[in-house]
Amino acid sequence: MKMHRATLAALALTFAIFPFSQVHAQAYPARPIKLLVPLAAGSTADILSRTIGTELAMAMGQPVVVDNKPGAGGTIAMAELARATPDGYTIAFASQGTLVFNLSLYAKPGYDSLKDFSPILHVGGVSNVMVVPPDSAAKSPFDIIAAAKAKPGTMTFSSGGSGTSHHLSGVLFGQLTGTDLVHVPYKGAPQGILAVMSGEVNMGFFNTPTVINQIKDNKLKGLAVTSLTRSPLLPTMPTLDTSGVKGYEVNTWFGFIAPANTPPDVVSRLHTEIGKILAMPAIRDKLTSQGFELAPFTPPSGFTKIIREDLGKWPGIIKASGAKVD
């Protein structure tokens, strides 16, 4: 009995010094980690998430289960993350669209990007490509602008969903060129791309990794990239900035986040392991060859700074365009 009481006393002292949450965090991870992806399978976010998730599972010694939750511009996945227990067992792959664009596009997105999440790591970014059907008569953005102005309200562009970078790329294009474009959202990027390939819509703006093969196979015609500099994967393709749309720039960024109040040591562990993965030559080569521009390794606060700065830039652009989702 004395030993039993002594053992209980020792355990009580342990938990008094190290609360359950801290003891739990020290054993992290003890079960599979769910990785929410706010876009459809085959999208840029999905490609990156699965590539990194596979390596993360080996590094953490636990399965990393990718859970695609497309729809509503990614608000479904982000709202789920905001409600999740902050223990590191539910994290998400987030983008500029989900963390910035949605706060202006949706009256009630279901989350606050600065209050409801703990940034883990800024992964990098990717430019979009302005694409048209392979048999389109358009040879440059000038042709698109002329056609849109000749028949206002008839030029259509697809996207992988309202609030995505594909959607906002079209919004910014219309705003800077004074054209009235019609947005046609699809369930995901693959469906939106197919709509351009088939001629169901006139054009689209999609992430380089998701359309580069179709461009090379002449299943899509690329007119310009949305970054200020040319893509090393499409070196002969001009930028929109140098193609008559001065000042045009859309470079979508990505990163990993967790629910707010996730223990700092858990965030630190994830930050470190994902950083190591992105430093692997094989992973870097694989991602850069697909058009991803990897960011320098920075602390979570660096990702917070990017989110905060873009929340100061994009709302004005979105409001001026009149774009709304609900």
Maximum CA pair distance of the chain?
A: 92
Distance between CA 26 and CA 3 in Å, rounded? Answer: 27
In the chain, how many domains are there? 2
Q: DSSP H helical segments within 151-263, as ranges?
A: 165-177, 189-198, 208-216
Distance between CA 287 and CA 58 in Å, rounded? Answer: 19
Whether residue 3 is contained in a domain is answered as: no
User: Which pLDDT does position 3 carry in this prediction?
Assistant: 46
Whether residue 239 is contained in a domain is answered as: no
Whether residues 121 and 134 fall in one domain: no
Percent of the chain whose pLDDT exceeds 90: 71
User: Which pLDDT does position 16 carry in this prediction?
Assistant: 45
Cβ 224 vs Cβ 240: under 8 Å: yes
User: Which pLDDT does position 21 carry in this prediction?
Assistant: 44
| Residue owning tokens 């020290």 | 26
State the DSSP string of 50-74. Answer: HHHHHHHHHHHTS-EEEEE--SGGG
State the DSSP string of 95-129. Answer: EHIIIIIHHHH-S--S--TTTSEEEEEEEEEEEEE
Residue among 32, 38, 41, 84 nearest 60 (CA): 32
User: Which pLDDT does position 87 carry in this prediction?
Assistant: 97
Residue 238 gets the label, from left (phi > 0), alpha (psi -120 to 50) or beta, of beta
User: Which pLDDT does position 4 carry in this prediction?
Assistant: 53
User: Which pLDDT does position 114 carry in this prediction?
Assistant: 96
Distance between CA 8 and CA 62 in Å, rounded? Answer: 31
Whether residues 260 and 119 fall in one domain: yes
Whether residues 165 and 135 fall in one domain: yes
> Which residue did the predictor score with more confidence, 290 or 230?
230
Looking at 44-53, 208-217, 285-294, 296-305, which range is the least confident one?
A: 285-294
Q: Examine the pLDDT at 6 and tell me if it is beyond 90.
A: no
Whether residue 7 is contained in a domain is answered as: no
The neighbouring-strand residues paired with 252 are 126
User: Which pLDDT does position 200 carry in this prediction?
Assistant: 98
Whether residue 234 is contained in a domain is answered as: no
Q: How far is CA 46 from the centre of its chain?
A: 9
User: Which pLDDT does position 5 carry in this prediction?
Assistant: 54
> What does the pLDDT look like over 166-209, one tens digit per residue?
888 999 999 999 999 999 999 888 999 999 999 999 999 998 88
> Which structural domain range is residue 304 located in?
33-125+251-321
Average pLDDT over residues 265-273: 97
Whether residues 200 and 287 fall in one domain: no
Q: Are strands 155-159 and 181-185 parallel, antiparallel or unpaired?
A: parallel
Whether residue 298 is contained in a domain is answered as: yes
pLDDT band at 263 (very low <50, low <70, confident <90, very high): very high
Whether residue 4 is contained in a domain is answered as: no
Average pLDDT over residues 145-160: 96
Residues 6+ apart with CB under 8 A from 279: 297
Whether residues 106 and 139 fall in one domain: no
Looking at 25-39, 136-150, 300-314, which range is the least confident one?
A: 25-39
Whether residues 83 and 40 fall in one domain: yes
Q: Are strands 251-259 and 90-95 parallel, antiparallel or unpaired?
A: antiparallel
Side-chain-side CA neighbours of residue 256 (13 Å): 32
Whether residues 309 and 165 fall in one domain: no
Cβ 251 vs Cβ 107: under 8 Å: no
User: Average model confidence (pLDDT) for the chain?
Assistant: 89
Distance between CA 299 and CA 120 in Å, rounded? Answer: 8
Distance between CA 156 and CA 199 in Å, rounded? Answer: 10
Whether residues 169 and 256 fall in one domain: no
Residues 6+ apart with CB under 8 A from 125: 251, 252, 253, 254, 292, 293, 295
Q: Give the domain CATH number at 101.
A: 3.40.190.150
Whether residue 16 is contained in a domain is answered as: no
Whether residues 58 and 196 fall in one domain: no
Q: Give the domain CATH number at 150.
A: 3.40.190.10
Residue 69 in tokens:
């939750």
Percent of the chain whose pLDDT exceeds 70: 92
Residue among 144, 126, 97 nearest 245 (CA): 144
Residue among 15, 66, 85, 24 nearest 260 (CA): 85
Residue 264: helix, strand or coil by DSSP? helix
> What does the pLDDT look like over 71-91, one tens digit per residue?
888 899 999 999 999 999 999
Whether residues 69 and 138 fall in one domain: no
Among 225, 240, 267, the domain-final residue is 225
